[in-house]
Amino acid sequence: MTEPRIAVAVVTMGNRPAEVDALLESVAKQDLAPVRIVVVGNGCPLPEFAERLGLPGEVTPIELDENLGCPGGRNVALARLRSFGDVDVVVELDDDGLLVDADVLRRVRDLYAADDRLGIIGFRIADEQGETQQRHVPRIGGSDPLRGGYVTGFLGGGHALRMAMLAETGDWPAEFFFAHEETDLAWRAADAGWRILYAPELLLQHPKTSPARHAIYFRVNARNRVWLTRRRLPLALIPVHLGVWVLLTLVRNRNSPAGLRAWFGGFLEGLREPAGERRPMRWRTVWGLCRLGRPPVI
């Protein structure tokens, strides 16, 4: 089998220039050079990277006039990579991440070369002390972050996507802007018969953060969850999924009246506004997700 050609894509809002430099330097140190590197300025200008950092291959900067959100910015990168015609797998990395090991891209290539139905690889995300937050482990509960295997979802901060899979499933849901876009893509991939692998040996160092740091978090988190269920779940599972998450949200945020108001405002927005194309997963896919340990109602 021909070895897949690897590209790297980074989306930034221009507010972390030192972190982007460090990330690109860690890409430059990889023992497998990517065939392409695309950096998207999501509503911001970009500096000249290649000459300053000595990066391998051609760095393609793309400056957008407005912030399209994380999924929208990634779709722009994917469209540019397709135009080159020489990319089989794209590794997408958060702009404040860091590839600590020099063999990450080579390991990604080898994993894809060994399995032609492998669609998505999720990296392990850990902070500077090596700690992985529970929300970054793609399994229910306090699972061991060092245990790899096939899973039902992946981490947005560090992952790889097979371009052939995206040609079949479609790209990121740009209208989500932020929150749950990974689940939407993962469910489409699973429904199309592609495998999702959590590979903890692929480490992205990333500062410890809370998603609630974003001002829009509660509203779009709720809105997008409703959109996600309306787009991807069989009708019988939609009220189950949303009921579970209403209860969880009430418990988790019982001491944050402002957060609850924003969340339920987003929930109503998700019910009122168009959710986009409805393409519910098959019941066979529901059973497959259950067998992997995460029913699509939790």
SS3 201: strand
Q: Is residue 221 part of a domain?
A: yes
* End residue of a domain, out of 186, 209, 232: 209
How many whole angstroms separate alpha carbon 139 and alpha carbon 289? 11
Residue 298 belongs to some domain of the structure: no
What's 188's domain CATH number? Answer: 3.90.550.10
1 located within any domain: no
| Residue at 84: amino acid letter | F
- 157 and 240 in a common domain: no
Same domain for 113 and 101? yes
Q: Is residue 297 part of a domain?
A: no
0.85 exceeded by the pTM?
yes
Q: What is the mean pLDDT of residues 149-164?
A: 97
Is there a single domain that holds both residue 141 and residue 99?
A: yes
Per-residue pLDDT of 75-96, as tens digits, reads 999 999 999 999 999 999 999 9
Residue 129 forms part of a structural domain:
yes
For residue 231 the two structure tokens come to: 């787009």
Residue 208: predicted pLDDT? 85
Residue-wise pLDDT tens digits, 252-270: 999 989 999 999 999 999 9
Q: Tens digit of pLDDT for each residue in 173-217?
A: 999 999 999 999 999 999 999 999 999 999 999 998 766 555 588
Please state the domain count of the chain: 2
Coil vs helix vs strand at 51? helix
CB-CB neighbours of 251 under 10 Å: 8
Residue 285 lies in domain:
212-291
In a domain, 99, yes or no: yes
| Distance in angstroms (rounded) separating the CA atoms of residues 135 and 249 | 15
From the list 84, 91, 80, 118, the residue with the least C-alpha distance to 33 is: 91
100 part of a folded domain: yes
- The DSSP 8-state label assigned to residue 35 in this structure reads S
